[in-house]
Amino acid sequence: MSAELILGKDVSEEIYAELRQRIEALKAAGTLPGLAVVLVGDDPASHVYVRKKGEMCESLGMRSKTIIMPESTTQSELLSVIADLNADPEIHGFLVQLPLPPHIDEKAVINAVAPEKDVDCFHPYNVGRMLAGDPGFLPATPAGVQQMLVRSGVETAGKHVVVVGRSNIVGKPMAAMMMQKGPGADSTVTVVHSRTANLPEITRQADILVVAIGKPRFVTADMVKDGAVVIDVGTNRIDDPTHPKGSRLVGDVDFDAVKEKASRITPVPGGVGPMTICMLMANTVRAAERSAGVSQ
């Protein structure tokens, strides 16, 4: 039997409807939530992501500011833009799009963002708060995965979640969030990665398998238990001469084979993808609510 699809478009629409109400309440109380996005250089995928973030912000009726800087920007020029955004009362949250050109120290940039405006949840202060289970920002992609599970009625308490991949952006925070106490969590978590011995033996034990390893169609059907819930965070562009563009997007999961074994699965594209921007918008509304004194 083919798995039921969990679609980011459906889940994000539900969250956007809630956010619109919170934005209206903020505006009525005199606060227009504002998000700024800083992009350095010419990476084509980053330009697409940044444009989409700006468009979503505007479609929700929030203030949007996009700052595009040339590849030759120095670290001190970028730090000066960050200092201005930290001090700008009209901007409640902002992020610097990654990757940065190699001459800029990514950690120095992340550390320069004021924690109360760090809607990516990349600053060590916010990473620490997330790990401690304190209320605050959550990193957008893992938070989006958690919302997909919760809002499609997947039980997580007591379940074995196996996270494939250990990145700072997805794998590590995903594991930390699923082991917290509370709704959408309370799971038993295992993390596997490129150096794990007997990886398929472990993934086969997963009730919920979250895959973020950045390798096209890495998870095959023999690595998945019958009836597992499979969440594919990967987006990989592969050559495909039968496609008009000569290439197409695939996830980290061999979708066609795994959908015959899983009970629920997220496709690529259309699965987790739309959730990342949605949770970024949710963090921005949260930042504005905090600044207006209506949220922790």
Chain residues that interact with ligand GUN, rule: CB under 6 A: 95-98, 120, 140, 169, 276
Task: Identify which of residues 79 and 257 has a Cβ nearer to ligand GUN in the complex.
Answer: 79
Query: What is the tally of helices (H) and strands (E) in the chain?
Result: 10, 11
In the complex, least distance from residue 227 CB atom to ligand GUN, rounded to whole angstroms: 31
Residue number of the CB atom closest to ligand GUN:
98
Q: How far is the CB of 50 from ligand GUN (least distance, A)?
A: 9
Is 120 one of the catalytic residues? yes
Phi, psi angles (nearest 5°) of residue 116: -75, -10
Measured from the CB atom, the residue of 95 and 258 that comes closer to ligand GUN is: 95
Spot the catalytic one: 118, 120, 207, 252: 120
| DSSP code, position 182 | S
Q: 188-192 and 208-211: which strand pairing?
A: unpaired
Based on the residue annotation, tell me whether 21 is a catalytic residue of this protein. Answer: no
Considering beta carbons, is residue 11 or 119 the nearer one to ligand GUN?
Answer: 119
Is 147 noted as a catalytic residue in this protein?
no
Nearer to ligand GUN, 156 or 276 (CB): 276
Amino acid at 155: E
CB 10 → ligand GUN: shortest distance, Å?
21
Shortest reach from residue 27's CB to ligand GUN, in Å: 26
Torsion (CA) 58, 59, 61, 63 in degrees, nearest 10 = -10
E-assigned strands of 105-261?
A: 160-164, 188-192, 208-211, 229-232, 236-239, 247-250
**DSSP for 95-127, written as a single string:** EE-SSPPTTS-HHHHHHHS-GGGBTT--SHHHH
Q: Work out how close the CB of 51 gets to ligand GUN at its nearest, in angstroms, rounded to a whole number.
A: 14
User: Of the listed 97, 118, 159, 254, which one is catalytic?
Assistant: 97
Beta strands of the chain (E only): which ranges? 4-5, 34-40, 63-69, 93-96, 160-164, 188-192, 208-211, 229-232, 236-239, 247-250, 264-265
Closer CB to ligand GUN, residue 203 or residue 283?
283
Q: Which of 10, 27, 52, 53 is catalytic?
A: 53
**Amino acid present at 295:** S
User: Which residues are the active-site residues?
Assistant: 53, 97, 120
